[in-house]
C-alpha cells in the first residue's frame, strides 16, 4: 500500500477519534451543566423552605402614634446614614442616597423601581432616617458593581448592624429576621408582599435588601433589624416620632 494512502487513512482515523472525543466532552459538559442547574434549583428550594418570608403584619411592633403638627426635635436633627458595618460578615461600606425611577416595558409604564448604588450601599432616600420612627431601607448589589451585600445571606439572627449618620452619630440594630423571597416568576400577590417590606412602618426598624442567590438575582434576601442599645449612651434619640409615607415602589433587580 502506498505511503500516501496509509497516511491518509491514519489521518482520517485520528480525526474520527478526535470527533468522538469532542462529542463525548460536549455531552459531559451538558450533563455537568444540567447537574449544576438541578443542584442550584434544589438549593433555592431549600432556601425558600428553610427561610420563608414571615407575615409582614406580624413584624410590626406597635401601633402608629398620632401624626404631629410639627416635626419633633429628633426629626429635625435626624440625618441620613453614610456608613454601614456588620462585623459578622466583614461588611464595612459607605452608604449613598438612591431614588426610584419609572420602569417602562414596551412603552408601557409598569411602576417605579428603586435604583441600586454601585460600589456602595444605597439608602432609599424617602425612607426613615436612623433614629426616627419608620423603616430605614438600605439595598446593595450581591454579585456585581462592588457587590457590597455579597454576604448578606450569611447574616444570622442576633447579629448587630451599625449605621453612622451624616452628623456622626451611631445607631445599632439587632437582626430579628432573615428570609428569602421569590422575585423571578413571582405572582402579582407575591410581588406586593415583597414590596411591603420596604414601605414605611409605624415602628422604628432597619431593612436590608439584596439579590439572591449569590450567582443570580431570581430571589431577594431581606434582613430585618430593630434598634438595640449602644455602649455610647444617648447615641440614639429616644423620643416618639413619625415620618411621612413613602411613594409605592418595587424592588429593583
Span 15-36, pLDDT tens digits: 888 888 888 788 777 777 776 6
Structure confidence by residue, pLDDT tens digits, 91-104 = 999 999 999 887 77
pLDDT at position 148 over 90: yes
Quote the pLDDT of residue 100.
Answer: 83
Quote the pLDDT of residue 48.
Answer: 63
Quote the pLDDT of residue 234.
Answer: 37
Structure confidence by residue, pLDDT tens digits, 38-93 = 665 666 566 666 666 676 767 776 554 554 556 677 777 899 999 999 999 999 99
Quote the pLDDT of residue 188.
Answer: 85
% of residues, the chain, pLDDT over 70: 75
**Torsions phi, psi of 106, nearest 5?**
55, 40
How far, in Å, CA of 20 to CA of 38, rounded? 27
pTM beyond 0.75: no
Quote the pLDDT of residue 241.
Answer: 34
Topology given in CATH for the domain delimited by 57-228: Sortase; Chain: A; (2.40.260)
Quote the pLDDT of residue 28.
Answer: 77
Quote the pLDDT of residue 22.
Answer: 81
Quote the pLDDT of residue 181.
Answer: 92
Omega prior to 221 cis, within 30 of 0: no
User: Cα–Cα–Cα angle for 136, 172, 77, nearest 5°?
Assistant: 60
Looking at per-residue confidence, does 156 or 67 come out higher? 156
Quote the pLDDT of residue 237.
Answer: 37
How far, in Å, CA of 156 to CA of 88, rounded? 8
CB 229 within 8 A of CB 89: no
Quote the pLDDT of residue 244.
Answer: 38
Placement of cell 401601633 in the chain: 63
Domain ranges (residues) in the chain: 1-50, 57-228
Quote the pLDDT of residue 232.
Answer: 43
How far, in Å, CA of 56 to CA of 26, rounded? 48
Amino acid at each position: 500500500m502506498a505511503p500516501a494512502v496509509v497516511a491518509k487513512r491514519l489521518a482520517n482515523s485520528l480525526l474520527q477519534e478526535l470527533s468522538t472525543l469532542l462529542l463525548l466532552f460536549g455531552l459531559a459538559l451538558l450533563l455537568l451543566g444540567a447537574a449544576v442547574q438541578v443542584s442550584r434549583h434544589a438549593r433555592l428550594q431549600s432556601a425558600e423552605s428553610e427561610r420563608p418570608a414571615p407575615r409582614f403584619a406580624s413584624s410590626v411592633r406597635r401601633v402608629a402614634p398620632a401624626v404631629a403638627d410639627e416635626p419633633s426635635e429628633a426629626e429635625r436633627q435626624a440625618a441620613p446614614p453614610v456608613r454601614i458595618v456588620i462585623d459578622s460578615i466583614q461588611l464595612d461600606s459607605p452608604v449613598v442616597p438612591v431614588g426610584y425611577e419609572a420602569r417602562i416595558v414596551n412603552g408601557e409604564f409598569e411602576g417605579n423601581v428603586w435604583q441600586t448604588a454601585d460600589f456602595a450601599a444605597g439608602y432609599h432616600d424617602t425612607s426613615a432616617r436612623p433614629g426616627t420612627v419608620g423603616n430605614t431601607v438600605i439595598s446593595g448589589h450581591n454579585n456585581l458593581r462592588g457587590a457590597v451585600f455579597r454576604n448578606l445571606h450569611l447574616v444570622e439572627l442576633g447579629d448587630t448592624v451599625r449605621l453612622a449618620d451624616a452628623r456622626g452619630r451611631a445607631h445599632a440594630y439587632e437582626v430579628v429576621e432573615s428570609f428569602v423571597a421569590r422575585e423571578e416568576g413571582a405572582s402579582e400577590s407575591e410581588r406586593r408582599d415583597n414590596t411591603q417590606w420596604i414601605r414605611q412602618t409605624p415602628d422604628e426598624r432597619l431593612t436590608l435588601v439584596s439579590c439572591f442567590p449569590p450567582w443570580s438575582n431570581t430571589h431577594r434576601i431581606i434582613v430585618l433589624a430593630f434598634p438595640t442599645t449602644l455602649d455610647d449612651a444617648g447615641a440614639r434619640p429616644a423620643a416618639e416620632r413619625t415620618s411621612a409615607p413613602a411613594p409605592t415602589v418595587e424592588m429593583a433587580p
